[in-house]
Amino acid sequence: MKIKEILRRKGATVHTITPDSTVQDAITLLVKHNIGGLIVREKGGGIVGIITERDILRQCASETHDPEGTLVSDAMTKELIIGVPDDDLTYVMGIMTKNRIRHLPVLNGEKLEGIISIGDVVNAHLRETEFENRLLKDYIHGIQK
């Protein structure tokens, strides 16, 4: 299964925030949309990072833990790990596990196609495995008749 199939199923809606917004603004958006990460974009549209629940927890654990007075640019992950629509599910599982990330922006060139979470990846893997198991069971039952 390819990443583009996961995005087709879940949709390509991506919530974003600007780097000059506050961490409190990010928290508000995460809670409002019931999501775990926001893509950080400049006002001109360029992607500069991602801010996730984990980034916010790290920031809150630091000495300067004021979410109202801290900018997203100070708490976000700047070194973005991305996927592309044609990436294989198994490859993406490996990348997310190796880098210990739970959110993967999907880019097609410079265009943001969507974002997938580790939950999306696990659900897709389960669907794929269930389908393969069903095919194998049907095959075995066909041989036994």
The secondary structure of 92-125 as a DSSP string is: HHHHHHHHT-SEEEEEETTEEEEEEEHHHHHHHH
- Give the CATH number for residue 66: 3.10.580.10
Q: Which helix (H) or strand (E) holds 51?
A: strand 47-52
Number of structural domains, the chain? 1
What is the predicted pLDDT for the residue at 36? 95
HSE, side-chain direction, 13 A CA sphere, residue 100: 3
pLDDT value, residue 145: 58
Judge whether residue 105 has pLDDT over 90: yes
> What's residue 56's pLDDT?
94
Residue 144 has pLDDT above 70, yes or no: no
- List the domain range (segments joined by +) for residue 35: 3-144
Average pLDDT, the chain: 91
Cα–Cα distance for residue pair 69/96, rounded to 1 Å? 31
Query: Per DSSP, what are the bridge partners of residue 107?
Result: 112
Stronger pLDDT, 125 or 32, i.e. the higher one: 32
10-37: average pLDDT: 95
